[in-house]
């Protein structure tokens, strides 16, 4: 099993959660609190957890509160080279998301889970499928063409759940060793599909 998490910066906002098997069958739901996310992961005991959130600080940066130090990681610079749009992790609301992502990564790793960082927008750009701002139906159709089944057909699926499916799909590619790793060992990698 693979878990994909489209993490929100706040526990009050929707976090998309997807469980996917190796046949690309998925189940999705919306979660809120860290506790809910941890409980759902513990039920599944996945081989990999693929999270849409920065999971590491740039090398040389002590914290997000101190404004000194680098704003970009090596993986972020690679995204810029690839002309993929993203928000730097030191930008306003991204700080909360980064803090939450790092906290959950540490909790899951302590429990023995493999955790990877991904970015659905970049994955969709690489796979040449639309991002969620193009409309849910376009994203849904593109995911189905990749062979994804199950809750991708859910009548009122949210954009957050679709992004969680993309995260889980990247986790699937990671297990199949068909992935691109941007970054470095000291700073952490961002896992994306191969171009």
DSSP assignment of 57-126:
PPTT---SSS--S-S--HHHHHHHHTT-----TTSHHHHHHHHHHHHHHHHHHHTT--EEEE-HHHHHHH
Q: Span 2-193: which CATH code?
A: 3.30.420.10
pLDDT for 19: 98
Sign of the CA dihedral running 54, 59, 62, 68: negative
Cα–Cα nearest to 85, from 116, 119, 110: 119
Residue-wise pLDDT tens digits, 149-175: 999 999 899 999 999 999 999 999 999
Residue range 40-48: mean pLDDT, rounded: 97
Element (H, E) at 26: strand 25-31
Phi, psi of 58 (to 5 degrees): -60, 145
pLDDT at 71: 80
- Would you say the pTM of this structure is higher than 0.85? yes
pLDDT greater than 90 at residue 127: yes
Question: In this prediction, what percent of the chain has a pLDDT beyond 90?
Answer: 73
Mean pLDDT of the residues in the chain: 92
Domain spans of the chain?
2-193
Structure confidence at residue 122 (pLDDT)? 95
> 130-153, pLDDT tens digit by residue?
998 888 999 999 999 999 999 999
Q: Residue 89 above 90 pLDDT?
A: no
Averaged pLDDT, 163-188:
95
> What is the model's pLDDT at position 133?
86
């Amino acid at each position: 099993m693979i878990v994909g998490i489209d993490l929100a910066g706040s526990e009050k906002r929707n976090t998309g959660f997807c469980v996917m098997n190796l046949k690309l069958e998925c189940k999705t739901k919306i979660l809120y609190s860290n506790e809910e996310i941890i409980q759902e992961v513990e039920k599944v005991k996945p081989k990999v957890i693929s999270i849409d959130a920065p999971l590491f600080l740039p090398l040389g940066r002590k914290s997000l509160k101190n404004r000194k130090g680098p704003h970009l990681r090596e993986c972020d610079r690679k995204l810029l080279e690839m002309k993929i749009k993203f928000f730097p992790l030191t930008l306003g609301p991204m700080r909360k998301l980064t803090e939450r992502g790092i906290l959950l990564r540490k909790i899951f790793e302590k429990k023995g889970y493999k955790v990877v960082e991904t970015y659905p927008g970049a994955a969709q750009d690489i796979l040449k499928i639309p991002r969620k701002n193009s409309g849910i139906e376009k994203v849904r159709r593109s995911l189905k063409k990749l062979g994804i089944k199950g809750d991708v057909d859910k009548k009122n699926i949210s954009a957050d759940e679709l992004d969680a499916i993309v995260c889980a799909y990247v986790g699937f590619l990671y297990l199949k060793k068909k992935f691109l790793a941007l970054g470095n060992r000291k700073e952490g990698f961002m896992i994306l599909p191969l171009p």
